[in-house]
Amino acid sequence: MACDSPKPVDLPVLQQWMQSVISHVGGVVEGIEDNEARRLIDVSTEEIEAIITPSRRRSSIQRLEVYANAYYARLVECLKSIFPVFAQTVGDELFDQFAIAYLQQYPSRSYTLDRLGDHFPQFLRETSPEAESPGFEQFLVELATIERSIDDVFDGPGVEGKEVITAADLEGISPDDFWQARLMVVPCLRWHRLTFPINEFLSQARTQPQPDVPEASPSFMALTRRDFVVRRVPLTHFQIELISRLAASLSVGEAIEDVLNQLGEPDDLPGMIASAFQKFATEQFFAAISS
């Protein structure tokens, strides 16, 4: 139904309706007919000119589609800023396909775009084909997981301007007290068990436009932040199992015994323990210590 002039609508209501329509995962036409949009402004696609007038070159629907395309283009660019190495690895065209499919399955619900990529690794896991052994799809899932974690660490709370536990602090504790001590990890610490050497791949991607996708090989890494810079810290299997238990509030002795029950006792246990805590302290993994 054509109208000589648009139907008067309160601006806040029109803004909400516009957002509902242009962000609808099914497109503008489905957005107009959606219950949410009809609740705000009860107009069908046949009556849309009563709200949005056509221009000389575009119909009312086409004018709305311009805004819808710009909306999704902005979201895709935002996702690309969260997952830059992932996008570099798969290429712009394939990344855009991943991004649009993701946004249709997990549309933006937050007031901030910082949360836009929260479910992207999960989306990749859900849509990856089943495989008997780790392949390219699993590599992409792990790459996206680490990039999402890096973004989370960068935007989250840190320890800048606060006291942290140093190697000297640990050395000043008697062996008995140290065995009973509980160490609180810093809020920006994350750790990951991986089936691909993602840390090395990220380093290569900084200097190579298209680094080769590595073969599957177990790797372990931590992420933390110092001076507002996210640090990637490679860990051994022993170290990641130990830090995960310390973060769960086990005492040092309980954590070590639990790791040994899982991994077995190595030949040089004292050396491995000393090396682990030296690394943890140097990388500022601990915020506080209690007996």
> pLDDT at position 75, please?
92
Provide the H-helix boundaries in the chain. Answer: 11-22, 28-33, 35-40, 60-82, 84-90, 92-105, 120-127, 136-155, 167-171, 175-180, 198-205, 237-247, 252-263, 269-282
CA-to-CA distance for 250 and 112, rounded, in angstroms? 36
Residue 6 has pLDDT above 70, yes or no: no
> pLDDT at position 11, please?
84
**Cβ(96)–Cβ(76) under 8 Å?**
yes
> pLDDT at position 132, please?
65
CA-to-CA distance for 108 and 71, rounded, in angstroms? 11
Q: Could you report how far apart the first and last alpha carbons of the chain are, in Å?
A: 76
CA-to-CA distance for 65 and 73, rounded, in angstroms? 12
**Cβ(185)–Cβ(286) under 8 Å?**
yes
> pLDDT at position 27, please?
85
Task: Compute the CA torsion angle 111, 224, 77, 23 (nearest 10 deg).
Answer: -30
> pLDDT at position 108, please?
82
> pLDDT at position 104, please?
87
Instruction: Please compute the mean of the pLDDT values over residues 90-101 and round it to a whole number.
Output: 94
**Cβ(182)–Cβ(250) under 8 Å?**
yes
What is the tens place of the pLDDT at every residue in 235-286? 999 999 999 999 999 999 999 999 999 999 988 999 999 999 999 999 999 9
Contacts of 215 (CB under 8 A, 6+ apart): 196
Beta bridge partners of residue 289, listed in sequence order: 183
Cα 48–chain centre separation = 39
What is the tens place of the pLDDT at every residue in 35-94? 988 998 888 888 888 888 888 899 889 899 898 889 889 999 999 999 999 999 999 999
Q: Are strands 190-194 and 182-185 parallel, antiparallel or unpaired?
A: unpaired
What is the tens place of the pLDDT at every residue in 107-166? 887 777 888 999 999 999 999 887 667 899 999 999 999 999 999 999 999 999 999 999
> pLDDT at position 1, please?
44
CATH fold of 159-290 reads Outer Surface Protein A; domain 3 (3.90.930)
Residue 8 has pLDDT above 70, yes or no: no
Domain residue limits, the chain: 1-79, 159-290
> pLDDT at position 7, please?
60
Residue 5 banded pLDDT, cuts 50, 70, 90: low
Instruction: For the chain, give the number of residues.
Output: 291
**Cβ(41)–Cβ(64) under 8 Å?**
no
Shortest CA distance to 114 belongs to which of 73, 89, 143, 148? 148
Question: Angle between the 252-263 and 237-247 helix axes, to the nearest 10 degrees?
Answer: 140
**Cβ(23)–Cβ(108) under 8 Å?**
yes
> pLDDT at position 204, please?
95
- The token duo for 133 is 């052994």
CA-to-CA distance for 149 and 45, rounded, in angstroms? 42
